[in-house]
Amino acid sequence: MGKILVTGGTGYIGSHTVVELQQAGYEVVIVDNLDNSSIGILDQITEITGIKLEFHQLDLCEEEKVKELISNNPDITGVIHFAAHKAVGESVQLPLKYYRNNFFSLINLLTAFTGRDINFVFSSSCTVYGQPDKLPVTEEAPVKKAESPYGNTKQISEEILAETASVNANYHVIALRYFNPVGAHETALIGELPIGVPQNLVPFITQSAIGKRGAITVYGSDYNTPDGSCIRDYIHVVDLAKAHIAALKRQEAAKMEANFEIFNVGTGTGSSVLEVIHAFESSTGVKLEYKTGARRPGDVEQVWGDVSKAEKELNWKAELKLEDMMRSAWAWEKYINEHPL
């Protein structure tokens, strides 16, 4: 098995993917600047897998340090690139923060691998679609003007990767456009660990349920959806992590049809904000306090994905249900409340 560099590997999706990589037999090197994660996650991963990790605290925007790291690891065969700022609302308020971090980190990584054969899996997002004309949205849908700077960084990053792969035959790139990852590992030893006030729905739900936050605000009650709240395709983070392994396997088996490929990664089912709240209540037995508020800038009304391409070509399928996501997220919240990292 190869050695895989995981950027942002102590983060939410990154940590779960590291677990799946190690359990699949890969050697893993993590790079993270710990801007939005905790060093304590490394011990949690090791407790799950029983395998020690190689970790480098590094800002990928520092070009020379990135080159040095890659030069010192000539046996790296693959990269899974998670490291990026990712909050839609914050990106609207701080666009330069997002453009600087998300572009410089990607460009520095690609530059550091110049001349080397590399499998590169990119953490993209369904935000590249904006509000699709047709649902479920397929990979062939037009990429519309982004609703937020965060979404724009994903769109442009995909363009950077496609253009780089088109003129460098040694770069094999798969962009996974994921929908909304939620939930936590079945051990409850790793999960979503937002710094400060959560920007995403489910960690706000769990923090509200445990008493860290007040009432949940449902942003928008007048959308053109069955209950007036936004609809998203929520996917369990463990299912999502396994999709990255499937992408690497495709690259390693030389099954890619082009040097740049795109796959939707979701469940193929949309759930509204209110449905998520009710699923949490029914699966945990905990009642939530919530209220409706104004629409939030940058939010898309509704989106869920056609994931048939990933199911067929990656031989991957989401297995866990919304109730599984809520139960595991709640178990993680209770764990982290008693064992803060």
- Which residues are annotated as catalytic? 150
Q: Residue 26: CB partners within 8 Å, gap ≥ 6?
A: 1, 2, 3, 4, 248
Q: Is the distance from CB of 29 to CB of 6 less than 8 angstroms? A: yes
Residue 306 DSSP label: -
CA-CA distance, 111 to 107, in Å (whole number)?
6
User: Following DSSP, what letter does each residue of 217-256 receive, concatenated?
Assistant: EEE-S-SSSTTSS-EE-EEEHHHHHHHHHHHHHHHHTT--
Identify residue 269 by its one-letter amino acid code. Answer: T
Which two tokens mark 147? Answer: 């609703």
Q: Residue 321: CB partners within 8 Å, gap ≥ 6?
A: none
Q: Is the distance from CB of 204 to CB of 213 less than 8 angstroms? A: yes
- 138: alpha, beta or left, given left = phi > 0 and alpha = psi -120 to 50? beta
DSSP E strands in 8-88: the ranges are: 27-32, 54-57, 76-81
Q: Residue 307: CB partners within 8 Å, gap ≥ 6?
A: 136, 264, 265, 266, 267, 268, 317, 318
Identify residue 17 by its one-letter amino acid code. Answer: T
- For tokens 């029983």, the residue is 50
Which two tokens mark 8? Answer: 């942002």
291: helix, coil or strand? strand
Peptide bond before residue 136 is cis, with ω within 30 degrees of 0: yes
